[in-house]
Amino acid sequence: MKFIVKLFPEITIKSRPVRRRFIQRLQSNLQILLKRIHPKVTVSGFWDKIEVVVPESASMLEVDAVVETMKMTPGIAHFLEVAEYPLGSFHDVFEKTLPVYRDRIEGKTFKVRVKRTGDHDFTSVDMERYVGGGLLQHAQPLRVDVRKPEVFVDLEIKNEKLFIVEKQHKGLGGYPLGSQEPVLSLISGGFDSVVSSYMTMRRGAKTHFLFFNLGGKAHEVGVKQVALQLWQGLGASARVKFVTVPFEEVVGDILQNVHHSHMGVVLKRQMMRAAERVADEMKIDAIVTGESIAQVSSQTIPNLNVIDRATDKLVVRPLITVDKPEIVELTKRLGCFDIVKMIPEYCGVISDRPTTRAKLSRVLEEESQLDEEVLDRAISQCKVIKIDDIAKNLDIESDIEALSKVSENQVVVDIRAPLEVERKPLNMPGCDVQVIPFYELESKVATLDNSKEYLLYCDKGVMSSLHAQSLQEKGYLNIKVYRPLV
């Protein structure tokens, strides 16, 4: 099966060297991602497109995975699913086109488009007229409309090969990941920080994650999970880092020494200072946040102005004018909504009558009461891991077992998302298997039979390990992990 990938339009208006660099980057990203699905997938770059060929040996599950991966790869405007044939006569082309488009053009206006490369003794218009005439006679369209057709019948000819476009898939747009400079995104696990991270990834910036832990280990587990989901869906062609800074002591310092009206602004400024020092270590010039004007009290324009004075780094706010419903809807499209809604909001400090018009002089006066060593200590205790190593660095307790065999009193719980379960069901004859999506585990675990052991399962063992750790910490010691032998 063959796919023709069309570039995001902004790429095509770049200078020749920049355009070539972007195409090479997109080709490289696709090679990395698609060869993980099937090692014999080939990706070829051209001036105006990229061609992806999936070998005949690939299963339908693998083909579907290729399609879903390309839908979420930045830099692609859309891609065409095409069937390839030797170029024959006009009538042969018509006969191959008819079964593909007969149902699609029934009762609708249509237009045949032929894109031709190479030397031929006919023009594209000649073929368009012949195939269009045949479709008028043998299908049941409304009519040909060359200006605003409801359906385009797309054919491509490259030398002596014919390509019939069977389906078009919408891409993500944006620039290829890694084509822009890296950024450090402050991620809390909430809707805003997830979407702002997505937007910089879509724009081509290699996006690293910085998490300020205000809510303990369970909070960290949840945020790592959503960051991993976001990276696997959008950015798995780039190696990025997840940085955790313990911030409970910093919050305590603020609660004890800052007037309640300025706690929120001071907390954000302390985060900016910490983020700047982490970014310096990583040689990153920009910090990304999920703030939107006036969404909460600390996000007024005067307050944001004072917050930004705490750092010399560029502060990027992709959501600055985006409404909350749009942000929430984006998390649904990204497949992160069900995870994010289960992560509690940890605001750190609750201000009584918080200021909406902070003055830098007053903020500096409040900050003079803080202990500088507290922030220094928090930064010195930060932990940096590669995001794809999250599952290996969870410090999972030794009593959380990963079993490869299932005994009589054990139940396997498939925690994958419903679409994954549908595509690749877990067939285990003779075993009790329950399907509980990961985002329903917290609410349903209390209803499980305490006399049995439950083995959580997911494809790569990451989600199952995360949730097993979290549930054991809450007292559910009958939760383990099922990891079949490969």
Q: Convert the pLDDT of each residue in 81-127 to its tens digit.
A: 999 899 999 999 999 999 999 999 999 999 999 999 999 999 999 99
Chain centroid to Cα 167, Å, comes to: 23
CA atoms of 430 and 407, how far apart (whole Å): 10
Structure tokens that stand for 218 in this block: 């369970």
Q: What is the pLDDT of residue 29?
A: 96
Structure tokens that stand for 294 in this block: 């006036």
Closest of 107, 83, 105 to residue 96, by C-alpha? 83
Q: Which alpha helices (H) appear in 36-112, and where do they start and end? A: 60-71, 90-105
CA atoms of 142 and 130, how far apart (whole Å): 17
Sheet with 383-386: strands ordered across = 314-316, 286-288, 180-186, 205-213, 241-246, 383-386
Per the annotation, the verdict on 336 as an active-site residue is no
49-53 and 42-45 beta bridge pairing: antiparallel
Burial class of residue 30, CB neighbours in 10 A (0-12, 13-18, 19+): buried
Show the low-confidence residues of the chain (pLDDT under 70): 215-216, 218, 342, 344-352, 391-401, 417, 419, 439, 460, 462-463, 486
Q: What is the pLDDT of residue 346?
A: 55
Phi, psi for 64 (deg, rounded to 5): -60, -40
Q: How many CB atoms lie under 10 A from the CB of residue 197?
A: 30
Q: Are 474 and 481 in contact (CB under 8 A)?
A: no
Q: What is the pLDDT of residue 395?
A: 47
Catalytic residue (choose from 336, 347, 431, 458): 458
CA atoms of 2 and 81, how far apart (whole Å): 6
Q: What is the pLDDT of residue 398?
A: 41
CA atoms of 429 and 410, how far apart (whole Å): 14
CA atoms of 182 and 239, how far apart (whole Å): 11
pTM: 0.77
**DSSP H/E element including 219:** helix 216-230
Q: Any bridge partners for residue 53, and if so which?
A: 2, 42
Q: Are 438 and 415 in contact (CB under 8 A)?
A: yes
Q: What is the pLDDT of residue 193?
A: 93
CA atoms of 67 and 171, how far apart (whole Å): 10
Closest of 2, 20, 164, 16 to residue 70, by C-alpha? 2
Q: What is the pLDDT of residue 232?
A: 86
CA atoms of 245 and 223, how far apart (whole Å): 13
CA atoms of 58 and 37, how far apart (whole Å): 9
Q: What is the pLDDT of residue 397?
A: 41
